[in-house]
Structure formats: structure tokens, C-alpha cells
């Protein structure tokens, strides 16, 4: 496998953490989840950070921990959905490695997220239709950043074979 530093971006529920775990085994390196690292660093859940310290504080910590990966040589990192939505962050990721956008439909995201809303502060209070509307709006807001990824896989194209091909061919 050629790519040494892999960043997975996309909406919450798009499968970033799932694929980071799988990819880390393929490339025999660390697989990390940026949100989990934030929780460990802050000794609080994401929900607690949002409610106690606010989103702006969360985003500062997120950027700081993302930059920590400059020191690492080989890894795959599942970012939070909003992590690439700061030009400094997406530029950093593209400079350091390859960025793969996992682009799932709103319908798929709603089905995945409806079960785990309580653990996600941005959507905890939303019902089914409000969740779909929220996700649609967030996708539109984040698209200019997500579109800067080196690779984009959508829906049925998000497969082991497709991801392995990207990693193998990336330099």
C-alpha cells in the first residue's frame, strides 16, 4: 500500500471510524478517530465539551490535535464531520497526506444516526424529519470544503476494493 497518511472526511454517520479501523489493518499502522482523541485529551465527552465550553472551543482543540499528526509517519485518521470545514485544516490534511471524502446520502445518514442521536450534540434534539433537514443543510454548508478532498467515494462506491485501489495508487 502506497499512501502513508490517510484522512477520512465526510458527514457524521458516513462510516469514517468504521473504515479507519479497517484501513489501519490493511496498511499496518495506527487508526485514529479525531473525536475520540479530543475526548481523551479533554477528559470530557464531545457533548460535554459542546455544552460546557462551546463549539468554538471544541474547534480550537480539534485543530490543535489534527496538527499533532504532523509528527506521525503512518496512520489513518477519521476526522469529525466539521474538522475539514476550516480552510487551515483541509489545507493541512492535503499537504500531509491523502484526503478521502466518504459521501453518503441523507437517507443513509438518517438511518444510521437516528439510533445514536444522544451521543451527538448537534443532532440530539432532532426528530426524523428535522434530522434529514439538518443533514441536508450541513452537507450544503460543508460541500465547498469536502470537495477539496483528493478522492470522493459516494454511496455504493464506498467499498473495500475502491478504498484499497485509492490507497495503492496514491503517492
- Kindly report, residue by residue over 133-149, the tens digit of the pLDDT: 999 999 999 999 999 99
- Kindly report, residue by residue over 98-119, the tens digit of the pLDDT: 999 999 999 999 999 988 887 7
Lateral strand order in the sheet of 5-9: 30-33, 75-78, 5-9, 98-103, 151-154
Question: CB of 163 within 8 A of CB of 7?
Answer: no
pLDDT, residue 37, reads 96
With pLDDT > 90 as the criterion, what percentage of the chain qualifies? 80
* The architecture CATH gives domain 5-164: 3-Layer(aba) Sandwich (3.40)
Residue 52's closest CA among 61, 83, 135, 12? 61
pTM of the model: 0.93
* pLDDT-based confidence at residue 171 (cuts at 50, 70, 90): low
Q: Is the pLDDT of residue 128 over 70?
A: yes
Question: CB of 102 within 8 A of CB of 19?
Answer: yes
pLDDT, residue 95, reads 95
* Mean per-residue pLDDT of the chain: 92
Amino acid at each position: 500500500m502506497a499512501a502513508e497518511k490517510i484522512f477520512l472526511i465526510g458527514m457524521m454517520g458516513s462510516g469514517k471510524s468504521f473504515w479507519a479501523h479497517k484501513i489501519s489493518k490493511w496498511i499496518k499502522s495506527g487508526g485514529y478517530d479525531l473525536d475520540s482523541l479530543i475526548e481523551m485529551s479533554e477528559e470530557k465527552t464531545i457533548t460535554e465539551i459542546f455544552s460546557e465550553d462551546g463549539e468554538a472551543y471544541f474547534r480550537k482543540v480539534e485543530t490543535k490535535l489534527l496538527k499533532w499528526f504532523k509528527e506521525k509517519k503512518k496512520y489513518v485518521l477519521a476526522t469529525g464531520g466539521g474538522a475539514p470545514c476550516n480552510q487551515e485544516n483541509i489545507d493541512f490534511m492535503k499537504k500531509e497526506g491523502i484526503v478521502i471524502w466518504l459521501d453518503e446520502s441523507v437517507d443513509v445518514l438518517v438511518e444510521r444516526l437516528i439510533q445514536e442521536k444522544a451521543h451527538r450534540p448537534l443532532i440530539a434534539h432532532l426528530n426524523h424529519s428535522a434530522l434529514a433537514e439538518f443533514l441536508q443543510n450541513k452537507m450544503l454548508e460543508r460541500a465547498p470544503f469536502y470537495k477539496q478532498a483528493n478522492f470522493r467515494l459516494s454511496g455504493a462506491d464506498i467499498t473495500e476494493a475502491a478504498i484499497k485501489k485509492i490507497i495503492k495508487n496514491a503517492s
